[in-house]
Amino acid sequence: MNTSKTLAAAGPGQDFSESRRWVQLIVGVVCMVATANIQYAWTLFVPEIQKTFGWERAAIQVAFTLFVLVQTWLAPIEGYFIDKFGPRIMVAFGAICIALAWVLNSQATTLTGFYVGAAVGGVGVGCIYATCINNALKWFPDRRGLAVGLTAGGYGAGSAATILPIASMIETSGFQETFFFFGLLQGGLAFIAAWFLRSPKKGEVKASEKLNQTRRDYTLKEALNTKLFWLMLLMFTCVVTGGMMAVAQLGVIAQDLGVKEFKVDLHFFVMAALPLALMLDRIMNGISRPLFGWISDHIGREKTMVIAFSLEGIGIIALGYFGHNPWAFLILSGVVFLAWGEVYSLFSALAGDAFGTKHIGKIYGVLYTAKGIGALFVPVGNLLMEATGTWSTVLYTVAAMDLFAAFLAITLLPRTLKAHVAQSSIAGSAPDKGTASAHA
């Protein structure tokens, strides 16, 4: 990497520095890695909590549901504070929350105590996740896909290095001490890293010449008045709902297909098909976000969405048809996970392209509620399975949602985005309330 200061031709970007923005990206990834265990390591603690207090597992897992809902549905509010106070204050506050969440868990003796800890953790992770994505969008207008992909990938794969130490400490010292120690460790790391973050000043970044990007900064109200925003929300909801429905029910689907207990022998290790598939989930999820983000920087968000969503839909259809074969189940579940994780890089990058970055915290915060909407629809998969007697119906429904999103990405999205950007480039123009439909 050339660390010398690179001068843009004129105007915005004249103080552009490649090294400076990569430092910001690395710090953001460190913050995301520090928060990942709040979500991904929770499953290690549940059996120990159940053993200690004798509560039903379903009652304990309400804490996880609360965490997801708080993290998702508070995103628009957190976006407001990100735009108002900047990245340092928000990530520092989030770091205090994630430390406090696990300290509360270490002292909890009632279900209510764990529920409060989960809610506090949801606030903390929401603040850090949204802020780091926001900062990556601002520093990398020319490589938004790669930047937000790496940042989101840090959260998706961040627990990999600490899962074994956490599991080992739970076994030797108990889950209370583990909560306390790692809570302070993770929160402290994120808190220190927070003070290295800052938003770019005018002239420190340069826009992309390859992608359709707006030349103005939309407010949240203006963005909500565009056809493009609601089209993106619809597509985001379709893909994230389908992916969450498939991922959440993978264990039951594997059992229904008769492959759950199949032993995969790769000579150097033997593992049951389901845990191996879940391991692939982590790997593929981590790879997909920067991979598809990088691709979208080169060929465009719309074309990348067509490829990814089509791959996801076809992979799920194939999983329903060929999934009775254990090897096909493993390969196809890997394809599904690879093609699903990219939504968190593609839609955030597209939001920055379409609406600018001055108010992107609030705008993407509202767009991110698609994940919360999708979570509410996940139980519908169980109802559909009970009504039809097979998971194939669920898989085909999910695939139809993905392919519908791919259809929108190849037909309506390019024209709507082009019309939106053209309208935004007109000096002093109002947002495109009806322009997109007129051009579509």
pLDDT digits (tens, 9 = 90+) for 162-215: 878 898 899 999 999 999 999 999 999 999 999 999 999 877 887 766 676 787
**CATH homologous superfamily for the domain 18-194:** MFS general substrate transporter like domains (1.20.1250.20)
Q: Give me the CATH code for the 220-439 domain, please.
A: 1.20.1250.20
Mean pLDDT in residue range 215-221: 89
266-298 burial code (b ≥16 CB/10 A, e <16): eeeeeebbbebbbebbbebbbbbbbbbbbbbbe
Equal fold, 18-194 vs 220-439: yes
The token duo for 288 is 């997909």
Provide the pLDDT confidence category of residue 268 given band limits of 50, 70 and 90. Answer: low
Is residue 313 within 8 A of residue 406, CB to CB? The reply is yes
Provide the pLDDT confidence category of residue 79 given band limits of 50, 70 and 90. Answer: confident
∠ CA 133-134-136, rounded to 5°: 65
Q: What is the pLDDT of residue 62?
A: 87
Tell me how far apart the alpha carbons of residues 295 and 150 are, in angstroms, rounded to a whole number: 13
Tell me how far apart the alpha carbons of residues 198 and 97 are, in angstroms, rounded to a whole number: 20
Report pLDDT digits (tens) over 401-427.
Answer: 999 999 999 999 999 999 998 888 764
Q: What is the pLDDT of residue 352?
A: 92
Please give the residue that has the higher pLDDT: either 329 or 281: 329
The token duo for 162 is 């600490």
Does an H or E element contain 67, and which? helix 57-73
Mean pLDDT in residue range 120-138: 94
Query: Which among 179, 10, 194, 193 is positioned nearest to 85, based on CA atoms?
Result: 194
What is the largest distance, in Å, between two alpha-carbon atoms of the chain?
A: 67
Handedness of CA 86, 89, 94, 97 (dihedral sign): negative
Is residue 91 within 8 A of residue 78, CB to CB? The reply is no
Q: What is the pLDDT of residue 440?
A: 32
| The pLDDT of residue 366 is above 70 | yes
β-partners of residue 272 are 263
Does the reported pTM lie above 0.75? yes
Provide the pLDDT confidence category of residue 6 given band limits of 50, 70 and 90. Answer: very low
Q: What is the pLDDT of residue 13?
A: 55
∠ CA 315-346-98, rounded to 5°: 100
Please give the residue that has the higher pLDDT: either 22 or 387: 22
Q: pLDDT above 90 covers what percent of the chain?
A: 46
The token duo for 375 is 């979570």
DSSP string covering 317-378: HHHHHHTTSHHHHHHHHHHHHHHHTTHHHHHHHHHHHHH-STTHHHHHHHHTHHHHHHHHHH
Domain spans of the chain, in order of start? 18-194, 220-439
Phi-psi region of 377 (alpha: psi -120 to 50; beta: other; left: phi over 0): alpha
Phi-psi region of 174 (alpha: psi -120 to 50; beta: other; left: phi over 0): left
Phi and psi dihedrals of 282, rounded to 5?
A: -60, -45
Provide the pLDDT confidence category of residue 99 given band limits of 50, 70 and 90. Answer: very high
- β-pairing, 270-272 vs 263-265, is antiparallel
Tell me how far apart the alpha carbons of residues 266 and 369 are, in angstroms, rounded to a whole number: 41
Phi and psi dihedrals of 168, rounded to 5?
A: -65, -40
